[in-house]
Amino acid sequence: MQKRAVTKTPAGKSRRAGTRPALDVAGLRILVVGAARTGVATANFIARRGADVTVTDLRGRELLQPHLGTLEESVAQELGGHRRETFLSRDLIVPSPGVRRDDPLLVEAERAGVAVLSEVEVASRFMPLPVMAVTGTNGKSTTVTAVGEVLEEARIPARVGGNIGNPLIGEVDRLQGVEYVVAEISSFQLEWIETFRPEIAALLNISEDHLDRYRTFEEYVDAKARIFENQGPDDYLVLNADDTLVREVASRARSRKVWFSRRITPLFGVYLFRGWIHARLGRGAGRRVMPVDELRIVGEHNWENALAVTALSMLAGADARSVRRALGRFRGLPHRTEFVRERGGVRYYDDSKATNVGATARTVAGFREPLVLIAGGRDKGGSYGPLVPLMEGRVSKLIVMGEAAGRIAGELGGVVETVRAGGMEEAVAAAVRAARGGGSVLLSPACSSFDSYRDYAERGRHFQDEVRKL
């Protein structure tokens, strides 16, 4: 059977806000690679629209059963391995975010003329609404969640989805009465976009991450920059003026730039001045929005997130009063500088979501009291060097654990007293001894959790359990 061509739209083609190039999947033979949450949501969505769908995964049925239980009966399954002939005989392949771009079968299929599109790209083709898309190395989930709460306060109906946990494609059928789609977008999801064009986009920050997947740091940066690749002069791009790499890649954008900053006053953007968040998103002087002292999210790095939230929300139509009310009660997300408890004058914080060096650096820089830092896990290929200037004067002791313990100790042990622990229980016990003089204990690993845990959340829960036992 001859492969049916997938109609493509030239990237960057101008269109009105809220319109998308159509994608007719009826009758297409489509392969979804990955049978977990995103893969199953994608397979179900396109199967209900008349596609002939197969889902494939290297893992077996036993590991995937929690997800397969919701799979449409019409979707064929190829589990426990991939079949070359299936990849080469499809009209379209939709890889899940965890599938590497250099996967040999995907590379071969693309060379053979098979179209490959990400789940985000496919979802966007069916969305009649303006899309707000947020990417960056750190702070994405916090930002999009807070934007959702501000828009709710402002009575602007919105759906929040994407990399935050509920696939964007799963939100398409839930848009009745909605005015905005707010999406967290990872670099992995941007790798196979074609026409994805958010009317409002944000690039929060860029630091080394996922170098176990990308061949170079530049390749990772280029993937992040695709968030604004298809934007035009009528679209908005919210950018961190305090981030050197963000400023560099921003020169590629054709959209209208909206800067946020803790240090400078942009001509068009959101900024800090005398302890207040100010917004200048129109003509005239900036207006006060809220004092940063009212923020409940901990750490100065969260001031940047609040600035981004303010810019994104107000661009979507929220008023300053709604921003202040929503951000004033927003407590953040689990495992992101989450306060656990205070005991013996020492405060304990769970920042297990800090799975890269940049995230840990941002968190540590946001504390002013002495810290005992617990770090380590599975190394992701980046340098721990950016933490060096933050150790002096902030971190009284560093406790390392996991596969990366030796490498972290090697790079940072000359700067701060370092102790190796055999696991979380030992690490917390060592931290208690080190922090008896007061201050805070911070779990901020700078590594992934996959050496010992299913994910960062399981690692964070283990830390919290050990702390509550004290």
Instruction: Enumerate the active-site residues.
Output: 140, 163, 210
| C-alpha to C-alpha distances, 62 to 220, 247, 356, nearest whole angstrom | 33, 47, 31
294: number of Cβ within 10 Å: 14
SS3 (DSSP) at 70: coil
Query: In the beta sheet, which residues pair with residue 269?
Result: 259, 280
Q: How many Å apart are CA 256 and CA 266, to the nearest integer?
A: 13
**3 state DSSP class of 259:** strand
**CA–CA dist 352, 335 (Å, integer):** 5
User: From the CA atom positions of the chain, what is the Rg in Å?
Assistant: 23
The phi-psi region of residue 348 (left if phi > 0; otherwise alpha if psi is between -120 and 50; otherwise beta) is beta
Distance CA 286, CA 266 (A): 10
**C-alpha to C-alpha distance for 7 and 81, rounded to whole angstroms:** 29
Query: At 146, phi and psi to the nearest 5?
Result: -65, -40
Closest CA to 156 of 164, 147, 165: 147
Paired with 288 in beta bridges are 278
220: three-class secondary structure by DSSP = helix
Q: Which residues pair with 350 in a beta bridge?
A: 338, 443
Locate the DSSP E strands across 13-65: 29-33, 52-57
Residues 120, 42: Cα–Cα separation, whole Å: 10
The answer to whether 443 touches 352, Cβ cutoff 8 Å, is: yes
Query: What is d(CA 83, CA 435) in angstroms, rounded to the nearest whole number?
Result: 55
Rounded to an integer, what distance in angstroms lies between the CA atom of residue 1 and that of residue 17? 38
Q: Record the tokens describing residue 49, joined without a space.
A: 């629209």
Query: What six digits make up the tokens of 146?
Result: 């807070």
